[in-house]
Every structure is written in C-alpha cells, then in structure tokens.
Structure 1
C-alpha cells in the first residue's frame, strides 16, 4: 500500500467553476508555483475516451452521467497516486452538484480543499465568446449552472470572484486560502 500523507494535511486542491471561469489557466499557474505538484484535468480525463464518448451535456443522458462518474473516479485515482508520491494534486474540473463532489472526494484518500472560481455568468459568457473558435464551449446554461453551484458549494468551499483578477492574481488568491501539504 502506498504511503499517503496525514489526512489533516491537504494534498488536493479541487478548482471548479463554469466554463470561462479561468480554471485551466489558474490551476496551471498554481501547479507550477508549488515545489511538487501536478495539474489534473477533468476534460483531459474525459478525453481519454476515444470511441463512444458522450459529452457531459450530451445524450443519451444516462451515458453522459456514467461517463462523468468515470471521469471523477479516474481523476481521484490520479490525485491519490500523486498524493502517495508526495505531490499536491491541483484538479481542474466542472462540478455541478454535491453528488458529483462526493463522487470525487469519497474516492480520495488525501485531504482536499474546494475552490470555486466565480466571476459570474456574464463574464464567463464573454470569456468563452472571446476564445478561438476551436476552444469555445457550446454552452448556454451559464445562469442555471451559476445558481446551481452557489446552492451546492457555498458552505464547503472557498469562493473567489475572478471577474477583475488576472490569472496570476487568482492563483495567488487560491494559494492564500488553502493549506498546501509538503
């Protein structure tokens, strides 16, 4: 059995938010700023499926949900492996509900902190629209997702309004709020 850090010492930083919140950029900056860290992407874990992949909002709905659960378990397994090797896992993932958070965190053997990057629905829309066409998300549910995340994660996470932050400011803000294991 691999050695795992003391569970009171967070070794996994979970960063969530809507598409366009800045998760990918901020988690990359966080991981690069720590002495031993790995960035784990839910999108990249989902993208490992080469045949039969269903987008998270796609159909059939039951298959999309099954693949979301698979992605969350795979990300947790990678985070556990990183923690066992004494790396901080910096996770970039869109979480919509307490059930999705529980799927991820119940599978973790390492301690974790949840951070929600929350610039607001309009800022996320604008950022998504400004992306290169190949990098845009075909997503129209910003207002619904913003409300759902606020209802789901207000009490158990660090909320950061990134609407007027640079990516570097957001990363520094995250690191000020969470405890990072060594």
Structure 2
C-alpha cells in the first residue's frame, strides 16, 4: 500500500529517538508501506569500523564526536543518492541533541520529514530489558532522555509511542507526517 500523497511524490523520512525507542522497527514498517523504498540504517556505518572505534559516553571525546559526525554524513549521503534514483528513503539512527539540526543540513535532497519517537523512559527501559543485545553500554536511558527532551531541537513531528503498537505508530506517522514533519 503506497502512502505517498501522489504517485510522483517521494521523500526522505528521518526517524530518530533514543535507543530502544522503536526506530528500526518503525522505519522498516514505514518503508514497507511505500512502493519504491529503501531503509537506511545509520548504525551500519559505525559497525563497519573494524579497529579504532571510539564509543560515545556521557562526556564524549573529540574523536568519538568526529566518528559520530562521519556516520551521520555517510548516512545522509546514502539517503540523498537513493533519493536521486527515485527511492523513498527512510533513514533511522540515534540523532539527538544539537546534532539533529546538523543532520538535517547534511541531507541535500527533499522533501525531508523528521519523525522523533519519544516513548516514556519506562517503556524504553522495558524494551531494552527484553533485548538480547543491549545497546546502551556507557550511556544510560535517563541521560539520553534528558538530551532528547532538553537539548534536541523541537523540529519535525514528535510521537509518544508508549501506548501504540508498531503498526499503530506507523499509522499515526502516516496521518500526521505531511502536515507536521516537513523541514
């Protein structure tokens, strides 16, 4: 089922939120509802580093921030290139704090729609606890939630998906994306 307003329209849909907020699941489901689409997982660029990865922490080093910026730039470039070939692009990654505005600027194609998933910290903690592979490492949910709520620009569409199933979250995105999420 196509969710695009008309057959010739396409876009780049940037989905962000803290870890365990549902980004991967929602991005995949959203991309599956589009006729011609690609799901770009920003974290894949971090996973490409074989030796020398510097992880994020509560006070990240300059090298960690540079690696994060590179990851975001590569994801934006890939999104732009797929878009130029006629794909709808769903790009997802943890992009919080002031860097969200940087990533918006890295993306050159458009229209660009920003969707921020913001379930409650309790819901995120329950999701994280149920995962086999834990994603937080040196970071904690409370710190990331603080950055999301107090340092992330209030751009695009924010969704509290705490009480929504993944399909209901995608339905909510589809109802609101064109009126609330375009940058």
Q: Return 5+ residue gaps in structure 2 as ranges.
A: 1-8
Is 2:173 aligned against 1:174? yes
Q: Name 2:144's counterpart in structure 1.
A: 145
Choose 117-126 or 49-58, whichever is displaced more: 49-58
How far residue 103 of structure 1 moved from its aligned partner, in angstroms, is 2.5
Matches within 5 A, 1:70-109: 70-98=70-98, 100-109=99-108
The Cα offsets for residues 37-85 of structure 1, whole Å up to 9 and x where unpaired, read as 1111121121111221122338971111010000010001001101101
Q: Return 5+ residue gaps in structure 1 as ranges.
A: 1-8
| Two-structure CA RMSD over aligned residues (Å) | 2.2
Q: What TM-score results when the alignment is normalised by the length of structure 1? A: 0.84
Q: What TM-score results when the alignment is normalised by the length of structure 2? A: 0.83
- Please say if residues 56 and 67 of structure 1, whose CA atoms lie closer than 8 Å, have aligned partners that are also in contact: no
Q: Name 1:123's counterpart in structure 2.
A: 123
Question: Quick one: higher RCO (CA 8 Å, sep 6+), 1 or 2?
Answer: 1
Q: How many residues align?
A: 170
10 and 103 in structure 1: CA distance in 2 versus 1, 3 angstrom threshold: farther
35 and 24 in structure 1: CA distance in 2 versus 1, 3 angstrom threshold: same
SS of the equivalent of 2:107 reads: coil
- Please say if residues 10 and 87 of structure 2, whose CA atoms lie closer than 8 Å, have aligned partners that are also in contact: no
Q: Name 2:23's counterpart in structure 1.
A: 23
Give the Cα separation in 2 of the matches to 1:52 and 1:139: 17
Matches within 5 A, 1:30-49: 30-49=30-49
Give the Cα separation in 1 of the matches to 2:141 and 2:119: 11
